[in-house]
Structure formats: structure tokens, C-alpha cells
Amino acid sequence: MAGLALLPGCSGQQPERADNRNASRTGVTILVAASLRECVAEMVRASGIDGQLQVDLSAASSSSLARQVIAGAPADLFFSASREWAEEVLKEIPSARGVHFADGRMVMIVPADAPHGPASLAELARDEKMRLGVGAAEVPAGRYAMEALGQMKLLEKLQDAGQLVYGQDVRQVLHWTGMGEIDAGIVYASDALLEKNVRIAQEIDPALHQPVEYWIVWLPGAGGREEVDRMYAFVQSPAAGEILARFGFGTVHR
Amino acid sequence: MHLQIECEFQHADGFELSVQMTSEARMTVVTGPSGSGKSTLLMLLAGLLAGARQRIQLGDEVVANSLAGVHWPPQRRGLGVAFQEPRLFPHLSVRRNLTYGDWRRTAEGMHSWSEIARRLEIEPLLDKRVGQLSGGQQQRLALGRAMLAARTMLVLDEPLTHVETGLRMGIASWIDEFSRESAIPVLAVTHNESLVAHWAGSCFRMDCGRLVATNAC
Amino acid sequence: MSAAEIATVLLSLQVALVAVLLILVPGTGMAWFLARRNFWGKFAVDALVNLPLVLPPVVTGYGLLLLLGRNGPLGYWIGQWPGWRIVFDWKGAALASAVVAFPLFVRSVRLAFEQADRSLEDAARTLGDGPWKMFFRISLPLARNGLIAGILLAFARALGEFGATIMLAGNIPGQTQTIPLHIYQQLQTPGGEQGAWRLVAISVLVATAALVAGNWLQRERSR
């Protein structure tokens, strides 16, 4: 809990280099799922590969990035926020290799300025006036939240009492909670840690829902091979695990 | 000067033009009621109407012959055309409208643009925009523009209808003079009988798309 | 404003301006073609030109990516030129913006050509102008307001282009991250709203300036 609540110190601001506009193929191009961007930027810095050559991060949704890779866009590494898209790339590009390096974790958040907010989902379920935000059933985060609530035997009770509020995506649940529009929400820990207006009230046991897998895919791109290999290895190292934990991701134990 | 026009043309709205005319005169006038096909004939001469069965000879040159696949584009025919409407270019000044097709490109001499501007009394207007001109001024400008562009023939469609009454006959005489001095023949379309009399030369009368009289004005 | 935000704004302006330049000649030609020519299959050409208007920009971007990626027919060919890159490059951002903005420009200019007084063009022809000379001396100046409107529309659309750009050029800060991509990224980052608002304000400023300049240019004519 303490480790999770710690806000990433040097994250965010301008991790990427903005100076060299002439993209040279001696640099490394990393495609990164938007939800992983800050964390990957931090790992690039920690690995030290950006000292020797330019590292470009391009952030978008995992599906867009995978399509870019398959269409032959010049990239070296692909960080996917979903197992499906990583596997799709591995299937289409036989010489690529990939590994599941991190897990997403779900948490219950409450507004930061609500000291008497619910301390747990069980407590929230007991007060029928309280409302809980979750992602819509179509988005993965919504599915995971429902699965967990079901396993905790809280889902029916919350649904019957009309306590559930469905957001378009996690981001919306995060906003609503930050603005105090709802009493609590279920989101990814990694998102919760970056939003100042919310605090984490309860961690949800990852065993209660399908695993949220983050993958790194090594691509047979051109240039900077040694650095790419180093980054690929670094992401799976204990040092990277520490960074991942700081950003709210769970590491994969081998 | 030899001008020969043979044409058969069927307009989309059913109007039919069928004309055979030859003129050796310096001043040729085509007259007739409105809707008789006079303007269509000029369009054909200018090269602005395709799709007609036509043979047109201007001087020694056959500029159109549909049987032989000859059709000179308008810019090659060297005509100076003053249309029934002034057709002035709104984005250009009076001066640039006047000299638009000026092939002599000189400001001095008998048929220079400055001389023509003076004779048509548009000199004081040269720096205005065409939108600021009256109807009569616009027609005089269009006339001057056509005169400056004419190499082989000056073609006039009702050239003086909007020109101020006090100026009309003076300009009519001067057009005749211009034609004689520069050896550029004139083909004019008008139903103004006094103009027809003034420009004595070859005269044709049209009605319903056909020539109904030759040299009978 | 941070240095990175300034770089983003400058890059956006560069991308939008180059996109407009890329559109100018083919767009004007296409507008003329559609306004003045009747030919077999005109309907299909018209539909093709307007396709980027109908398709979600992401799809347009994906199409360009398939065409220009390493495995694409054009991409392979471009790859033979050393140092030339479209995918993940600002040139790709400009191209994506140009394709998406193309129909807007063509529509505006085409309308101007359709509404032009054809009898003035005939007059210019009899005054000695060949087709090209007539086009540049008469048709184009008369279509001036439509042309300015088209340029403005295309510029504004290019400045706001998101979907096709992120697909073809990626989202690389300092290289392909234009204002909309930057805003998107800020909104994806919890607590990034502040930076997003600054760029939104700048977008509004640039768009307003372009609009005022366009109106002024259009009024110049009837001076």
C-alpha cells in the first residue's frame, strides 16, 4: 500500500527529447501504449540507453500501434497494454519476440478531499446512498471491475441498489471521482497514482479478475540493435520492477 | 478583305442557324430582328461555339473547317470582339481592361491605347475600377478593348446601344476611320438602321437563323 | 509555456502550412477539373476526392500507412531513397493533414469556379489568351475569394488534424507531436489538463488570426 501510494517523483514532465527533429535511423523508436508512456519514459532514462542515442517515444492506443507495426512502420520496440495486440504482432511478424513483463492492478479510489469516504468496497455497498463508478462493460477495465465485484459477492447488491455508475472509460471514472461527483471508483492503480485529486482506498486482489497483461515486443527494425536488446532485457530486470511498482504496475515473477 | 462563312448549327433549344455569306467589303453589317441568330453567328466566327458544321475563311486563312477537322482556337483568330454586354474584368482597372489584348503595346501613335482612350473619352477614367463606370462608359471601354486587340477583324455586336446619344455618331464615324487607316475590316451586328446607313458597305439581313437578303439595306 | 510546448506549436504551424502548400496546386487543378469538365467516371473521381471527408480520419491514416509503410507499394519505393522518411516523420504528419484537408479545399475552390462568369473567360480568349494564360489572368483572380476560403479551411483542418496524423506519423514529441496530439496526450495523463488548456488557447488564437487575415484579404478585393 505504502509503495503504491508513493507518487512517482521524477515522472511526467518532459521525459522525451524534443531537440532533434531530423529523425535518423540510428535512433531508437519505441511505440508505447498511452497508459504506459510515463512509466516507459522513466525506464528508458533508468536504462541509460538515451545517453548514447536518440530515443523517440510515440504514444497511442495499443491497437493503433499494432497496426502501425504490422504495416511496416519503422519501430524497434512495442509496449502493448493488451495481450491480444501483442500476440497479433507476434503472429504477423515471425522474427519479432515478446514477453509479458507487467500486470495491471485495479484499485478503489475516493476523492482526495473526502477523509470520511468509504474505506472499502464492502463498506460502500452497505450505504445505499453511495455511488461507485466503473468502466462500461465494453472496456476492459469495466469488465475487470465487474468480475472482481462478482467474486466479492457485491455486484448484485450494488446493481440492485442502483449504486453503479458507468463511465465511458477509466479516464472518465477518474475525473468523476476527482471532482467528487461519485463517492468512489474502480480504476487502474497506474492512473490513480497520477491523479492528484484522488487517493487509493483499497487495492483489489488481482486474483479476483482476469489478468491485465502488459507486453513488450522486440521488433526486427533497423538500427540501434544493441540498445534495443538492452532495453528489452532491462524491462524484465528487478530495477525495472521497482519503477513499475512506483507507477502502480505489478511485476511478473518468474 | 475576304470573309466567308458557311455554317449549319443546331442549338440545344431547337434554334437552327444556317448561313452562307461572303463579303469582300471593309465594313460588313449584319442586321435583322433580335433572335434572328446574329449573335450566334459572331460566336461562331470568334471560335466560341464548337459542334457546328462550319467553314470560315478570314482573309487567306481557313480558320474553321469541320469537314477537315480545322478549328482555330479563339486566341489564334486575331479578332477584336466587342460583345453585346461589356464583359469587362471586374478585378482589373479601366486601363488594364483597355490594354488587355493590345498587341501593338505602345502608348504613342495613331492606334495606340492612349489615342483610343482619348477618342473614346475614357482617358479620365483610366485609374478607376470598372464597377464605378456608367453603362455608356463601360460600352466605350469594351469597344476600345476590342479595337486594340483586333489584328484581322473587328467584330462588333450592337456596339453603340448604351453609348451616350451625344457621342454615338462621332464614335461611329471614327470606327469607320480607324478601319480604313489600320486596314482592319469590321463586321458589325446591329438593328440600328441609322448605323447601317452610316457604315455603308456590304449589308446582310437575317431572320430566323437564315440570311434573307444580301446587300439590300 | 514550456520549450516543448513552443516546439509543438511551431511544428503544428509548419505541418499545417506545408499541408496547405501540398494541396494548393493539385487541389486547384482538381477543382477546375470537377467544375468545368464532364467526363465518364466523373462521379467516381468526385467520390474519391471526398472520401477523406466521409471516412474517420484514423481510417484515412491507416490507408496511408498501408500505402506508405515499409510493406506498402509506395513505401517500398520511398525506402529506396536514402534519408527519406514519411512514416513517423513530420513529412508524414503534413501529408496526412493534406489528404484530410484536400476535399475541403477542393469544394470551396470548385464552387468558386462553378460560379465564375464564363463569358469573361470567353472574352479573354478572344483577346488573345490561350487556356493557361486565361486561367491565370481571369479565372484564378475571379475565384480569389473561394481560393482564400479554401486555404483557410484547409489550414484550420490541418491544424486540428488528429486521427490520420497519429496513425501515419505517430506521436513523437518534437517530431510529429502536433497540438492536437499533445492535447490528447495531456488528457491521457491524469493532471495534464493545465498543459492541454494552454495549447487549446493557442489553437484558438492561431485560428482567429487566420480567420481575421482571411477576411481582410477577401475584403481587399472590393477595396
Pick A73's closest partner by Cβ from C65, C90, C189: C65
**Which residue has better confidence, B201 or A240?**
A240
Q: Which run of H or of E encompasses C168?
A: helix C163-168
**Which residue has better confidence, A53 or B80?**
B80
Q: And the C-alpha cell for C166? A: 497519429
Q: Which of A65-69, A114-118, B84-88, C161-165 has the lowest mean pLDDT?
A: A114-118
What is the mean pLDDT of the segment spanning C30-38? Answer: 94
β-partners of residue B189 are: B30, B157
Residue C55 has pLDDT above 70, yes or no: yes
Q: Which of A221-235, B97-111, B124-138, C137-151 has the lowest mean pLDDT?
A: A221-235
- Which residue is listed with cell 476527482? A178
Residue C192 has pLDDT above 90, yes or no: no
B128 touches B62 (CB < 8 A): no
Question: Binning pLDDT at 50, 70 and 90, where does residue C223 land?
Answer: very low
The answer to whether the CB atoms of C188 and A171 lie below 8 A apart is yes
- Alpha-carbon distance C202 to C192, whole Å? 16
The answer to whether the CB atoms of A72 and C71 lie below 8 A apart is yes
C45: closest CA of chain B, how far (Å): 26
Share of chain A above pLDDT 70, in %: 88
Q: And the C-alpha cell for A236? A: 524484465
Q: And the C-alpha cell for A11? A: 515522472
Q: What is the DSSP letter of C135?
A: I
- Which residue is listed with cell 458544321? B53
**Confidence (pLDDT) at A15:** 37
Question: Binning pLDDT at 50, 70 and 90, where does residue A13 land?
Answer: very low
β-partners of residue A30 are: A57, A77
Chain B and chain A touch, per 3+ beta carbon pairs within 8 A: no
The answer to whether the CB atoms of C128 and B90 lie below 8 A apart is no
Strand order in the sheet with A184-188: A164-167, A132-135, A184-188, A106-111, A198-203
Question: Binning pLDDT at 50, 70 and 90, where does residue B10 land?
Answer: confident
- Alpha-carbon distance C55 to C61, whole Å? 10
Residue A3 has pLDDT above 90, yes or no: no
Is some CB atom of chain C closer than 8 A to the CB atom of B145? yes
**Confidence (pLDDT) at A23:** 40
Question: Binning pLDDT at 50, 70 and 90, where does residue B51 land?
Answer: confident
β-partners of residue A165 are: A133
Residue A4 has pLDDT above 70, yes or no: no
Residue B173 has pLDDT above 70, yes or no: yes
Q: What are phi and psi of B79, to 5 degrees?
A: -85, 155
**Confidence (pLDDT) at C188:** 76
Half-sphere exposure of B38 (CA within 13 A, CB side): 26
Share of chain B above pLDDT 70, in %: 99
Query: In the structure, how many helices (H) and strands (E) does chain C have?
Result: 12, 0
Q: Count other C-beta atoms under 10 Å from residue A114's C-beta.
A: 15
B149: closest CA of chain C, how far (Å): 6
Pick A21's closest partner by Cβ from C66, C90, C189: C90
**Confidence (pLDDT) at C81:** 79
Pick B81's closest partner by Cβ from C120, C126, C142: C126
- Alpha-carbon distance A106 to A191, whole Å? 10
- Closest-CA residue of chain B to C118: B87
Half-sphere exposure of A139 (CA within 13 A, CB side): 19
Report angle CA A90, A25, A83 to the nearest 5 degrees. 20
**Confidence (pLDDT) at A100:** 95
B200 touches B9 (CB < 8 A): no
What is the mean pLDDT of the segment spanning B181-206? Answer: 87
B112 touches B95 (CB < 8 A): no
- Alpha-carbon distance A194 to A43, whole Å? 17
What is the mean pLDDT of the segment spanning B168-188? Answer: 93
Torsion sign over Cα C212, C213, C214, C219: positive
Question: Binning pLDDT at 50, 70 and 90, where does residue A254 land?
Answer: low
Pick C123's closest partner by Cβ from B83, B91, B103: B83
Q: Count other C-beta atoms under 10 Å from residue C131's C-beta.
A: 13
Q: What are phi and psi of B53, to 5 degrees?
A: -80, 115
Question: Binning pLDDT at 50, 70 and 90, where does residue A252 land?
Answer: confident
- Which residue is listed with cell 492528484? A196
- Alpha-carbon distance B75 to B84, whole Å? 19
Q: Which of B18-32, B34-48, B194-208, C29-43 has the lowest mean pLDDT?
A: B194-208
Tally of residues, chain A: 254
A78 touches A66 (CB < 8 A): yes
How many Å from the N-terminal Cα to the C-terminal Cα in chain B? 20
pLDDT digits (tens, 9 = 90+) for A111-163: 998 888 899 999 999 998 899 999 888 788 888 999 999 999 999 999 999 89
Question: Binning pLDDT at 50, 70 and 90, where does residue A14 land?
Answer: very low
What is the mean pLDDT of the segment spanning A30-53? Answer: 90
- Alpha-carbon distance B97 to B130, whole Å? 8
What is the mean pLDDT of the segment spanning C81-87? Answer: 81
Mean pLDDT of chain A: 85
- Alpha-carbon distance B215 to B2, whole Å? 16
Torsion sign over Cα C175, C181, C184, C188: negative
- Alpha-carbon distance A216 to C190, whole Å? 23
Burial of B193 (0-12, 13-18, 19+ CB in 10 A): exposed
**Confidence (pLDDT) at A34:** 87
- Mean pLDDT comparison of A174-178, C133-137, C210-214, highest-scoring range: C133-137
- Alpha-carbon distance C160 to A62, whole Å? 22
How many Å from the N-terminal Cα to the C-terminal Cα in chain C? 40
Q: Which residue spans within C73-156 are E strands per DSSP?
A: none
Share of chain B above pLDDT 90, in %: 64
What is the mean pLDDT of the segment spanning B71-86? Answer: 94
Give chain B positions within 8 Å (CB) of C142: 90-91
What pTM, to 2 d.p., does this model score? Answer: 0.83
Tally of residues, chain B: 217
The answer to whether the CB atoms of C176 and A29 lie below 8 A apart is no
Tally of residues, chain C: 223
- Closest-CA residue of chain C to A24: C83
Nearest alpha carbon to residue C117 among A224, A191, B87: B87
Interface of C with B in 27-86 (CB under 8 A): none
C53: closest CA of chain A, how far (Å): 20
**Confidence (pLDDT) at C221:** 60
**Confidence (pLDDT) at B110:** 78
The answer to whether the CB atoms of A73 and C171 lie below 8 A apart is no
Q: Count other C-beta atoms under 10 Å from residue B215's C-beta.
A: 11
Touching B: which chains, 3+ CB pairs < 8 A? C
Residue A109 has pLDDT above 90, yes or no: yes
- Alpha-carbon distance C89 to C171, whole Å? 10
Question: Binning pLDDT at 50, 70 and 90, where does residue B217 land?
Answer: low
Mean pLDDT of chain C: 91
Three-state SS at A47:
helix
Is some CB atom of chain B closer than 8 A to the CB atom of C124? yes
